[in-house]
A and B are shown apart, each in its own frame.
Chain A
Amino acid sequence: MAYDIIEKLKKEIENFKHEAELENVGIIIEASDGIAKISGLSNALSQEILIIETETGDVSCLVSNLEESSIGSIILGNFEKVKIGDRVRQTGQVLSIEVGEEIIGRVVDPLGKPLDNKGVIFSAKSGPAPVGKNSENYPLEKTAPSVVDRESVRTPVHTGIKAIDSMIPIGRGQRELIIGDRGTGKTAVALDTILNQAKDAGRSQVVCVYVAIGQKNSKIAKIVKILEDAGAMKYTVIVSAPASAPAALQYLAPFAGCAIGEYFMDKGKDALVIYDDLSKHAQSYRELSLLLRRPPGREAYPGDIFYLHSRLLERAAKLSKEKGSGSLTALPIIETQLGDVSAYIPTNVISITDGQIYLESNLFNQGLRPAVNVGLSVSRVGSSAQTKAMKKVAGRLRLELAQFRELQAFVQFASDLDENTKKKIERGERLTELLKQSDREPVSFEKEVVVLYAGINGFMDDVPKNRIKEFETKFVDFLEKMHKEKIIGTIQKSNELNEETEKNLAAALKEFKKIF
């Protein structure tokens, strides 16, 4: 074996031909904190990958600033290896990531290198592009699909969270922001959405990409474990740029996640990308920009911080039939400080996205989980993607809850109120109780419909508030056992709650109430 290796190497050395040719070259004149300044290479392109030849091997860097007499670049590898005087060469390539079906179920870094100790991602059979057939190189920076390539959103992405699916629906191709203070359950909403994709029968499987930016390694490990245990890694890719990763990788992570999502979108599939979170992404970009000596603006963020997020989120789209009908849904997450949504980054991202799910710490502390503030949350395009069955129950639910919120101030004086107001308050309290949901327990769409139907049609009015959860669980169980085909199956297949199903459902509710 050793003999074979040596013989092979000998042949390779013997056949090696090198002819000196005139090459473009640059020299490192400054290197610090992941940033390198290069003199020479006056014909380098913006966003081009350069190779720094260090004493201990090659390190790549990304052209970021093209100045009059030098180039400002972001080092993508170990920046401690880079020294002043090291030579830099051009590659003529822009930053890209190798993507294919085999990437599903893997944890990768923003450059596409595996981080999960499961070996190489693309087998020798598939090989790297362009040799392989199963993988392609996708550029991290790409122009968003044009207006003519797009179609309006019409298929839902069910999160499995009753409050969201009914009142703030999300469509495939939409960009819905999840915003809230730390510890309000933003990641939990995103994770539930991923978990629920396995339950959403009747629609094509959504490929999920979870991008962790500046998160703790322990949190990422926990997320991987949750997804693995639930069997969700079968359709999920995790792009990890933890807090320990250099700012350059944290800056590139969402673009890498987006490129992975775009691959599946271009293949005619539906993809969902979660950027957790863009606040940390903005901070990493601020760090790089300040080190590159770009002028600071508001909150010391550079002037192009809006464009950074808008060009990323614009890549989420629902493609037209001619383009394969694929979609890329984006769920960016923003962490606010003390509920301040008027800070620079939150307002920027709010204005870019098609709506927001606002999670409030007050609601969270009151025990209302998910802590969605229904009044401040909106979905601008999702309602057109909502199923008919959900629309039927959701319209009334929104109204009932709005009325309840208006009357909520009077709850303390409940004894002095007229019967009608009292009933409305009682109903509102029960509906609020019904919308409570533990994390990692997403409910499939058809079950959400039947439960919400029971709530808004007064079938729970006489159930004690502390038994609402029990009622919900037992009723769903009852339907599964007794009326699976007639009610649940029909709603799942037709996405509608027609008169006959509604009648059957009402009858089933009456039947169940007798035994509850």
Chain B
Amino acid sequence: MKYSPKDYALALSKSLEKSKDEKHLISNFLRVIRKNGDQRKFPKILEAFKKTETKKNGGSHIKVEFARETKEGQIKSITKQFSPKDWVETSLNPSLIAGVRVTFDGERELDNSLSRKIHKLFN
């Protein structure tokens, strides 16, 4: 049986709720991943786990994409706008040409980029 990253993340999250020895549990979890030959999935498992934990704590996964390199101060001022429960991820995406794009839980987005404006103009 092949497990998806989401399955691993949910299993880990539920096990951590009951466990008293977190270190032991995590090392066992990593062993299980290795035994199943799913090491390649590890980055995705980690992402899924972060999403699960954020959701459990009542927060949102917020992805902020900038078109150009942005100063640390600017990034901080933007991330401050969100709740501490949220998981804010920032990245550089030159395909936006200019502006910012914010995605909430991979479902809703606020796109204030130039590429979106151009797309809307021609479609």
Q: Which A residues have a C-beta under 8 Å from some C-beta of B?
A: 13, 16, 18, 20-27, 39-42, 53, 57-58, 69
Contact = CB atoms under 8 A, between A and B. Distances in A.
A22 B110 contact: yes
A18 B120 contact: yes
A40 B117 CA distance: 22
Given A18-B117, A25-B109, A69-B6, 17 more contacts: A16-B117, A16-B120, A16-B121, A18-B116, A20-B111, A20-B116, A22-B108, A22-B110, A24-B107, A25-B103, A25-B106, A25-B107, A25-B108, A26-B107, A27-B106, A40-B106, A58-B123
B8 to A, nearest CB: 14
Contact of B107 (A20, A41, A57, A58): A41
Interface of B: 6, 103, 106-112, 116-117, 119-121, 123
Contacts of B120: 16, 18
A263 B117 CA distance: 38
Nearest to B117: A18
A42 B107 CA distance: 7
Given A20-B112, A69-B6, A13 B107 contact: no
Contacts, number: 38
A51 to B, nearest CB: 8
Contacts of A18: 116-117, 120-121
Contacts of A40: 106-107
Nearest to B104: A22
User: 7 closest A-B pairs (Cβ-Cβ)?
Assistant: A20-B112, A40-B107, A25-B109, A18-B117, A40-B106, A22-B110, A18-B120
A58 B123 CA distance: 8
B91 to A, nearest CB: 13
12 contacts: A13-B121, A16-B117, A16-B121, A21-B110, A22-B109, A23-B109, A24-B107, A25-B109, A26-B107, A27-B106, A40-B106, A40-B107
A39 B109 CA distance: 14
B46 to A, nearest CB: 17
A427 to B, nearest CB: 71
Contacts of A23: 108-111
A20 B110 contact: yes
A291 B55 CA distance: 32
Contacts of A39: 106
Contacts of B103: 25
A69 B106 CA distance: 11
A173 to B, nearest CB: 43
Instruction: Point out which of A23, A26, A57, A69 has the most chain B C-beta atoms below 10 A from its C-beta.
Output: A23
A41 B103 CA distance: 12
B81 to A, nearest CB: 15
Nearest to A53: B119
B44 to A, nearest CB: 11
Instruction: Point out which of B107, B112, B121 has the most chain A C-beta atoms below 10 A from its C-beta.
Output: B107
Contacts of A58: 123
